[in-house]
Amino acid sequence: MKKMLITLCTLLCLCTACSSQPEKQEEVQHEQPKAEKREVSLTFTGDILIEDPLYVWMSDYQTKDTYSFKNYFDKIKPLLDGDVCIGNQEVPIAGREYGITGINFMFNAPEEIAPQLSKLGFDVLTFANNHSFDRGFVGIEKTIDALNNAGIKTTGAFKEEHHEPLIIEKNGIRIAILAYTYDTNQWIDENHKYAVNKFLNANHEFDEEHQAMIKADVEKAKAVSDVTIAAMHWGTEFTYQISKTQQQAAQFLNDCGVDIIVGNHPHTLQGVDTLTNKEGKETFVMYSLGNLVSSAAAVSRASEQFQNMYEVGGIVHLDVVFDPNTKQVEIKNQKLHAIVNHFTYGYDQYELIPFKDYNEELAAQHYQRACSMYFTYDYLKQNLASLFDGKIDWE
């Protein structure tokens, strides 16, 4: 009995000891769900350069009181899709009061151009180029107002000295768009130096002052966006050669963390590249997309090769994937659609035609064929292949 009591006491003590130990709580870690990657499709075009022969074709021959693109864009309009469509407005839209013209490096378009461009699908038109000041500061004001009233955003030229980066938000991705030109054809007075973004000094050098300005602009843009695009009006006209200044500025923008560079001004297509800086940051570069809109056969300032290629531009589609968890940007599915600015002898029957739908029969009818026997379908295809084969998917 005594042994039994001792055993019971021992068991009781053991049970009490066990029950006095705090129960070990099972640790449960709740992982925060990762945000899904976001994606946006972008479309880029070349220069919208409206020249005199096209105005004649667009206008009412009797009164010249209306200007319509008519069926000019019909065959390429399906290519101006994507979540955001971006082009370069090469000419001011100051309206009739300031004279409609597309010659002598002093261009100006009628007001009704803006809503027509909006209906075609343009969301953003950059306006930093050598023609931005062709109608002075009033041309800047009227162009911005015309495009904004038509629902098109602009950047690169400004009505106010202090402005914020242009931000377009689509599919949960904030896209910052910056734009710069090498210079303007017309002198800008001291009071309006801010009106057009320039990335070179008076000697056309990419100096430390302009590098610091661009770096500050990019940092400001990146602070409020997920993706940064720089539209650059640069390079040498009528050549495939990438200039030293283009190379220098492109690498600098890559070092600053810009995601995409779209170039214009040479009036011909130029190559594409992907630059990578020391930190591994990649930047997709389209050095020039040539002309989207133009109207000149046998351009006097160009060699015969580039008189022919003046009629060929490009529309680039690509997808941007943004990872909100890592803040990484991926550019993928880049594709270039070559287009031919087609018009017959005497500047008539204007059409923009995808190159995939072009052929020798059409090339033989082009006004440029009367100026150059080398303007053939095969010749154009060979030039396109030399530029893009193995570098980007194209058609």
Per DSSP, what are the bridge partners of residue 44? 86, 316
Cα Rg of the chain (Å, integer)? 29
pLDDT tens for each residue of 213-261:
999 999 999 999 999 999 999 999 999 999 999 999 999 999 999 999 9
Phi and psi at 22, nearest 5°, equal -65, 140
Residue range of the domain that includes 130: 39-392
Residue 29: pLDDT above 60? no
As a whole number of angstroms, the distance between CA 304 and CA 286 comes to: 24
Inside any domain, residue 9? no
Residue 369 falls within a domain, yes or no? yes
Tell me, what CATH number does 316's domain have? 3.60.21.10
Closest CA to 268 of 386, 377, 147, 189: 386
Residue 316 within a domain: yes
Q: What is the pLDDT of residues 40-75, one digit of tens each?
A: 999 999 999 999 999 999 997 555 678 999 999 999
Q: Is residue 133 part of a domain?
A: yes
Tokens of residue 61, six digits: 């021959």
Tens of pLDDT, residues 167-191 = 999 999 999 999 999 999 999 999 9
CB count in 10 Å sphere of residue 55 = 18
Say if 300 falls within a structural domain: yes
Q: For the chain, what is the domain count?
A: 1
Residue 20 lies in a domain: no
40 three-class SS:
strand
Beta carbons of 256 and 178 less than 8 angstroms apart:
no
On whether residue 3 sits in a domain, the answer given is no
pLDDT in tens, 295-346: 999 999 999 999 999 999 999 999 999 999 999 999 999 999 999 999 999 9
How much is the pLDDT for 62? 55
Single pTM value for the model: 0.91
Q: Residue 32 domain-assigned? A: no
